[in-house]
Chains A and B, each alone.
Chain A
């Protein structure tokens, strides 16, 4: 029923490149009035880039944008705003030093003059009441003082407020990521009401249940392309997962090695999360691959960082017996050194061993890097090229080479496969298994349930605590999801 309405937005053949990476590779998308489009795809599939273009933040390298049937030549943030397109981004776009009411003025320039503060407050509080009844937020609260969930509520409510500009389309990029089950439910119910009143929404979420329940139509992206677009009722969970490109892995996860008896090798890591009230703790033995599961941001990264810290100083509740290396998932902020060559990026963790006397020897550095290039298959003509000349997957391989090439016997992995293509993933899985065979211990936080199949033992996290402790033989996606959502939400 959505198809016969006039499209609010039409994107045609949109392309966007970042260096060697094709973030978007010819995307067509249109959204009709009163339609809720669910947009799904793995991390790095191009969803966020596409939304940035729609919001006028980045210009596409090729392709067209039409709003309300009019093709836009120079499309900017201001124009998007005037044409009624709003965005709720993953990275919060509130000013932390301003109050809730003041932040409302930021997106509503027309609220000004005497009494602007009161009008802005009324506007946003009214909308908060409408979307999140019982929210407990006041207009004069400074945003920095609010917990992250409430900030997200303010951000969502602000996007739906209307003054002089029309409101046609709201893009919600992972709007429920910091909300609890109750407020997430309130939000999704509101989205359904809003679309009923003719407002369009694009909903991006990694929680497929949310998408299936809320969207009228679902668009699936993979590797910068739209690979499927159909009525929501035509999809179910399995079809979504298959279309997103997770299916090939299922066959691969069957491991040839026989299950080892736990505890036959010495303990390498024992760690208890700070918020853990009971005695549960994470244990990793020599040669084990340990999975850290659960929803994103529930304390897995924090525990990994505690373990990382424990290798250099005392951290209460965490014991580490061997050198530790970490493979970052967020390459840009935690991993690569953007001014350096590929070889320098690989060698940095092992420079001590690449010296002659006190000096770093460049031939040793090159040799070392070259050895790992072949072992891990980094596709680059010259290791002296800048790291940014590599595609995302190969940059990630560089980080793996840095950690695996080091003297560390414990490797921490912080959701390292984000935005990595399937070919690279399979190569790296094999390598991890081979390294574990030689006695290395892996602690692997992943948001992709399929990857847990590679682990010997899995700890499921919720609200900063370990809530379940599963052996590989008892692992099912069902079990992980059940433990991730305590009271059977979602």
Chain B
């Protein structure tokens, strides 16, 4: 039984998150443990949302990655705040607008990949610079606060559990079902293992790739809106940390960068691990420079330990 659980790759990310948490509360002598958990759950949701989109993209196989997420998140946060205009009645419209902005970015990414026949890394990187400029220009001097109802929603707690986290868990369950039990997810996994074989097995490869990049874009857009609500306003660099963290949670969470093998629960473990790690470093009173340094080092070491799987082909 224990061995069966330990054999699951995602369990390690949860163990890591737990250890980091223990280290933190030992340091604070148990003070504020509940608050730490609540905050960590909220913050982890943001990483989980973009991480899930990134997971579908990475599952498409080697070379597939979405580097446009930070710019996409930044733009969507500005779009959401502008459309909502601080007005509670516009929340839904604002969310739809953010989703739409993300979908467009995702579609542009795919169009570049397809039309220019370039690796997704370069396509999403170059599109991210254009999106970034649009955001800088569009969001300049944007001081709009989120509607009070929206800001409140991102902070509601049920028994100390943020409602965002509950929604996030439901989202992950849905993503897991889509991955394992729906035609779309199976197609993604097949393409990730062997794109040519997937095509010859009758899978509409290009359509699935397009949907996947658009899905990643849409989730980035949604995340931008939620972040703007949680942090009380949009900003250009609101999404910056999600470039590394979206990729890191996927890899640490047990998804294979060689494609075709994905892991949804692992994303939660890895996201909690990263968030709690930052909390721990902050609690220890580490300087910003050291915090960056340690985050980078820990991520590289965990990836070195977790990655390095034998080549599938």
Interface of A toward B, CB cutoff 8 Å: 308, 312, 325-326, 328, 332-340, 344, 348-349, 351-352, 355, 358-360, 402, 406
Q: A337, B260: Cβ atoms under 8 Å? A: yes
A406 and B202 in contact (CB under 8 A), knowing A333-B197, A337-B190, A337-B194? Answer: yes
- B33 close to chain A: CB less than 8 A: no
By a CB distance below 8 angstroms, the chain B residues around A349 are 201-202
- Chain B residues 166 to 207 lying within 8 A of chain A, measured CB to CB, are 177, 181-183, 186, 189-190, 193-194, 196-198, 200-204
Q: B193, A334: Cβ atoms under 8 Å? A: no
Q: A352, B194: Cβ atoms under 8 Å? A: no
- Complex Cα distance, B200 from A333, in Å, reads 10
Selected from B183, B200, B260, B261, the residue in CB contact (under 8 A) with A352 is B183
Add 13 more A-B contacts to A338-B194, A339-B193 (CB < 8 A): A328-B197, A334-B196, A335-B200, A336-B197, A337-B193, A337-B197, A338-B313, A344-B186, A348-B190, A348-B201, A349-B201, A351-B186, A355-B183
A360 and B200 in contact (CB under 8 A), knowing A337-B193, A339-B193? Answer: no
Selected from B202, B203, B260, the residue in CB contact (under 8 A) with A339 is B260
Selected from A334, A344, A355, the residue in CB contact (under 8 A) with B200 is A334
Q: Which among A334, A337, A338, A351 has the highest number of chain B CB atoms within 10 Å?
A: A337
- Complex Cα distance, B198 from A358, in Å, reads 20
- Complex Cα distance, B25 from A463, in Å, reads 74
Chain B residue at smallest Cβ distance from A361: B181
- B115 close to chain A: CB less than 8 A: no
Which secondary structure dominates chain A's binding surface?
A: mixed
A359 and B197 in contact (CB under 8 A), knowing A339-B261, A348-B190, A348-B203? Answer: no
By a CB distance below 8 angstroms, the chain A residues around B194 are 333, 336-338
By a CB distance below 8 angstroms, the chain A residues around B198 are 337
- B293 close to chain A: CB less than 8 A: no
Chain A residue at smallest Cβ distance from B256: A339
- B6 close to chain A: CB less than 8 A: no
Chain B interface residue number, banded: 20 to 34
Selected from B186, B196, B204, B260, the residue in CB contact (under 8 A) with A348 is B186
- B312 close to chain A: CB less than 8 A: yes
Q: Which among B197, B202, B204, B260 has the highest number of chain A CB atoms within 10 Å?
A: B202
A334 and B177 in contact (CB under 8 A), knowing A351-B186, A352-B183? Answer: no
By a CB distance below 8 angstroms, the chain B residues around A332 are 313
A338 and B193 in contact (CB under 8 A), knowing A308-B200, A349-B201, A349-B202? Answer: yes
- Complex Cα distance, B261 from A351, in Å, reads 19
By a CB distance below 8 angstroms, the chain A residues around B193 are 337-340
- Chain B residues 240 to 264 lying within 8 A of chain A, measured CB to CB, are 260-261
Q: B313, A351: Cβ atoms under 8 Å? A: no
Q: A325, B183: Cβ atoms under 8 Å? A: no
- Complex Cα distance, B189 from A337, in Å, reads 9
Q: B260, A326: Cβ atoms under 8 Å? A: no
By a CB distance below 8 angstroms, the chain B residues around A325 are 202
Q: A335, B183: Cβ atoms under 8 Å? A: no
A402 and B313 in contact (CB under 8 A), knowing A337-B193, A360-B183? Answer: no
- Complex Cα distance, B202 from A406, in Å, reads 10
By a CB distance below 8 angstroms, the chain A residues around B183 are 351-352, 355, 358, 360
By a CB distance below 8 angstroms, the chain A residues around B200 are 308, 326, 328, 334-335
Chain B residue at smallest Cβ distance from A402: B201
Q: B197, A335: Cβ atoms under 8 Å? A: yes
Distance from A401 Cβ to chain B, minimum over Cβ atoms (Å): 12
Q: Provide 19 A-B residue pairs closer than 8 Å at the C-beta atoms, listed in order of the A residue.
A: A326-B200, A332-B313, A333-B196, A333-B197, A334-B196, A334-B200, A336-B197, A337-B189, A337-B197, A337-B260, A339-B260, A339-B261, A340-B193, A344-B186, A349-B202, A351-B186, A360-B182, A360-B183, A360-B186
By a CB distance below 8 angstroms, the chain B residues around A360 are 181-183, 186
Chain A residue at smallest Cβ distance from B193: A337
By a CB distance below 8 angstroms, the chain B residues around A326 are 200
- Complex Cα distance, B183 from A325, in Å, reads 18
Distance from B76 Cβ to chain A, minimum over Cβ atoms (Å): 28
By a CB distance below 8 angstroms, the chain B residues around A337 are 189-190, 193-194, 197-198, 260
- Complex Cα distance, B201 from A334, in Å, reads 9
By a CB distance below 8 angstroms, the chain A residues around B177 are 359
- Complex Cα distance, B61 from A338, in Å, reads 13
By a CB distance below 8 angstroms, the chain A residues around B201 are 348-349, 402
Q: Which among B189, B201, B261 has the highest number of chain A CB atoms within 10 Å?
A: B201
Q: Which among A325, A335, A339, A352 has the highest number of chain B CB atoms within 10 Å?
A: A339
By a CB distance below 8 angstroms, the chain B residues around A333 are 194, 196-197
By a CB distance below 8 angstroms, the chain A residues around B190 are 337, 340, 348
Chain B residue at smallest Cβ distance from A359: B181
- Complex Cα distance, B260 from A254, in Å, reads 45
- Complex Cα distance, B182 from A325, in Å, reads 21
- Complex Cα distance, B10 from A411, in Å, reads 41
Chain A residue at smallest Cβ distance from B191: A337
- Complex Cα distance, B190 from A351, in Å, reads 12
Distance from B194 Cβ to chain A, minimum over Cβ atoms (Å): 6
Q: A334, B197: Cβ atoms under 8 Å? A: yes
- Complex Cα distance, B190 from A138, in Å, reads 44
- Complex Cα distance, B196 from A402, in Å, reads 16
Q: Mark B200-220, 1 if CB is under 8 A from A, else 0.
A: 111110000000000000000
By a CB distance below 8 angstroms, the chain B residues around A334 are 196-197, 200
Chain B residue at smallest Cβ distance from A388: B312
- Complex Cα distance, B203 from A333, in Å, reads 16
- Complex Cα distance, B196 from A338, in Å, reads 13
Q: A338, B312: Cβ atoms under 8 Å? A: yes
By a CB distance below 8 angstroms, the chain B residues around A402 are 201
- Complex Cα distance, B196 from A41, in Å, reads 29
The 7 closest A-B pairs by CB, nearest first: A337-B193, A359-B181, A326-B200, A339-B260, A348-B201, A360-B181, A349-B201
By a CB distance below 8 angstroms, the chain B residues around A355 are 183
By a CB distance below 8 angstroms, the chain A residues around B202 are 325, 349, 406
By a CB distance below 8 angstroms, the chain A residues around B181 are 359-360
- Complex Cα distance, B190 from A325, in Å, reads 16
By a CB distance below 8 angstroms, the chain B residues around A312 are 204
- Complex Cα distance, B197 from A328, in Å, reads 8
- Complex Cα distance, B313 from A78, in Å, reads 24
Chain B residue at smallest Cβ distance from A338: B312
- Complex Cα distance, B142 from A473, in Å, reads 82
Distance from A354 Cβ to chain B, minimum over Cβ atoms (Å): 10
